Amino acid sequence: MLDKNRDLSSVGVPTLWGLLDTYAAARPDDRAFLYLGPENVEQEALTYAELHRLARIYGQRLRQHTRPGDRAILMFPTGLAFVVAFFACHFAGVVPVPMVPLKGSRLRNTVHAIAENAAAAVVFSNLDQASLVHAQLSPLPSYRDATFIAIDLDEGGPAPTADPHEALPHELAFIQYTSGSTSVPRGVMVSHANLAANLEMMAEAFGNDDSPTYVGWAPLYHDMGLIANVLEPFYLGTFCILMSPNLFAHRPWLWPKAISDYRAVVSGGPNYAYDLCIERRDLIIDAGLDLSSWKLAFNSAEPVRAGTLQRFTEAFAGIGFRPQTFYPCFGMAEATLLITGGSRSEVPILRPVSRVGLARGAAVAPTDEKDETQAIGCGRALRDETLRIVDPETFDAMPDGEIGEIWVAGPHVPLGYFDNEEVSQRTFHARIAGEADGERYLRTGDLGFVLEGELFVTGRYKDLIIVRGHNVYPQDIEYVAERAWPGLKNNSGAAFAVEDPDSGIQTLVLAQEVRIGNRQSIDIDAATRAIRQEILREADVTFHKIILLEPGSIPKTSSGKIRRAETRKRYLDETLAILARRPSQAPEAEPPKAASGDD
């Protein structure tokens, strides 16, 4: 592992290609990456020497069609061809742009918008997907003259003798497009200096000083999949096992099985991943797995739930999982990845706070048991980083305990979005009121508060619902709703507000998908009543309109985040696929439109 106590500014910025040169020379036959296929059968593997050879071959081929600084789209399903293409770009000095592989029409507009914005000279894919990728992108105006290259892991040619591109710290290491949960995806310009700083921050925050084996299944076009599951273990010089996100979604028990089989130390994912494993508890327990090697289970990318942490720990304590293994953290593509994290081997910080207080914008002690909810700490600011809570309207810094927008500054924060100067200035170059000569801050768009140095995240600013001056966090409403009645699909609901432009009257709407196996049998009236009552009981707010949807109806980003603004638009356009009532079902009478349950 690289020396975590060194000063990167004095020794220069380590580059990925420089590290690959070092590893290939010192440990050529060590396996760097392994990809597991169905049933976790070892399907693809790359030693450092093989990665070095293949990346040079395709990097030299890339040079024939590009100049340093040009962009190359990487459009792959999960697999090691993606890794080869990424390092080939670094050999040639070309900027890799990971992109979700397009299947069907669900993400077509998003993919085309990203491709046009990136205006890449080359498109990489694997052999199996080459013709499909060409058919998808070649009709676009920017890609009529683009070069399409398919990666073959069985390429047997010798590596070229040409020298690699020597990257400067300010040059781009890659462009990471955001998930687009509240806006059109934008390309974050991550420099080599940004990447090196965040990889070092992550190594220190995770306490990775023992060459830990990693297991990861997140998509490689997503910042978590690329950085946390590929680049961080590579940076440390450790073994990385990758899995397909689709395989995990359909057979989640294969994730803990891989951790057990390969004695992995670090592995993680969003909160819903742990919920999926809880649902398959018996199958995982019966498989005879041993999770005692698992020392750090990061939980990020969506709200961390105290109930999930407790249930997962209780479910798998008997096979070696410990409560201190959980590692809630906070990050986003606009900060390269990691922003805050805790201390390894410490149990997550749970703070009882007042529901009413959170609704009013402050974290205060609960008045009674009904008023209590658990806030989960997502760690502290990392080395060389400044974290502030700021009023998103006035830009005034806020004291501990008050909810505001999370702002962050540090060497891992990029300069902006690709080809989007106006939004870059607003997002990446914010200044706190009264500190005109102060640091340049990234506005994360997330709300939260700090207590005793610990960050607690409460939700997205753009998704926040305001009811008579009180904050209503949609993710909390959705979490309550999906558990209110059997047959409702997890992580597939959207809560939002609709305001009549003439009267100003606000209607609160909850759209919730039904599981595919329950769409014919679910009692729509009973389910909607139960959802409304449970939301009123838990959140003390009345949702006027509750609609059940066909499976797959809620629009999501490529990484699975709910697109609430798009759901609201489809609701207003009357294009949501509402679950049809059976002939025997009469429509439910609308309840009185009360704005809040405490009126």
What is the amino acid identity at position 61? R
Q: What is the mean pLDDT of the chain?
A: 90
Q: Scanning the structure block, which residue is given the tokens 């939004």?
A: 423
Q: What gap in Å lies between CA 310 and CA 290, rounded to an integer?
A: 19
What's the order of all strands across the beta sheet hosting 31-36?
A: 42-47, 31-36, 240-242, 214-216
- Please give the CATH architecture assigned to the domain spanning 15-30+44-167: 3-Layer(aba) Sandwich (3.40)
For residue range 425-471, list pLDDT tens digits in order: 999 999 999 987 778 999 999 999 999 999 999 988 888 887 766 78
Specify the DSSP element, H or E, that contains 306: helix 306-316
Contact residues for 552 (Cβ-Cβ < 8 A; gap 6+):
513, 577
Burial 292-315 (b: 16+ CB within 10 A, else e): ebbbbbbbbbbbbbbebbebbbeb
Residues of the chain with CATH 3.30.300.30: 465-573
> pLDDT per residue over 127-159, tens digit each?
999 999 999 999 999 999 999 999 999 998 899
Q: How far apart are CA 284 and CA 282, in angstroms?
A: 5
266-277 pLDDT, tens digit per residue, is 999 999 899 999
The answer to whether 321 and 308 have CB atoms below 8 angstroms apart is: no
Q: Distance between CA 40 and CA 509 in Å, rounded?
A: 42
Burial of 229 (0-12, 13-18, 19+ CB in 10 A): buried
Q: What is the Cα–Cα distance from 65 to 203, expressed in whole angstroms? A: 36
Q: Judge whether residue 18 has pLDDT over 60.
A: yes
Instruction: Please list the helix, strand and coil fractions of the chain in percent, rounded to the nearest 5, in that order.
Output: 35, 25, 45
Interatomic CA distance for residues 36 and 216, integer angstroms: 10
With 60 as the cut, is the pLDDT of residue 2 above it? no
CATH number of 346-460: 2.30.38.10
Res 4 pLDDT > 50: no
User: Which tokens sit at 508?
Assistant: 């609160």
Q: Would you say residue 251 has pLDDT above 50?
A: yes
User: Tens digits of per-residue pLDDT, 500-518?
Assistant: 766 667 889 999 999 999 9
Within 10 Å of residue 539's Cβ, how many Cβ atoms? 23
Range list for CATH 3.40.50.980 in the chain: 15-30+44-167
The two beta strands, 240-242 and 214-216, are: parallel
How high is the pLDDT of residue 448? 95
- This prediction has a pTM of 0.84
Structure tokens belonging to residue 116: 């046009």
Determine the Cα–Cα distance for residues 594 and 599; give it in Å rounded to an integer: 8
Tell me the C-alpha distance between 555 and 564, whole Å.
8
Q: Is the pLDDT of residue 589 over 70?
A: no
Short-list 368, 354, 470, CA closest to 401: 354
What pLDDT score was predicted for residue 326? Answer: 97
Pairing of β 31-36 and β 386-390 = unpaired
Burial class (CB in 10 A: 0-12, 13-18, 19+), 126: buried
Instruction: Name the pLDDT band for 357 (thresholds 50, 70, 90).
Output: very high
CATH 2.30.38.10 domain locations along the chain: 346-460
pLDDT band at 11 (very low <50, low <70, confident <90, very high): very low
Of the chain, the end-to-end C-alpha distance in Å amounts to: 59
Average pLDDT over every residue of 375-396: 96
- Angle between helix axes 254-261 and 271-279 (nearest 10 degrees) is 100
Mean pLDDT of 157-180: 92
Pick the CATH number of 465-573 from 1.20.1070.10, 3.30.300.30, 3.90.420.10, 3.30.930.10: 3.30.300.30
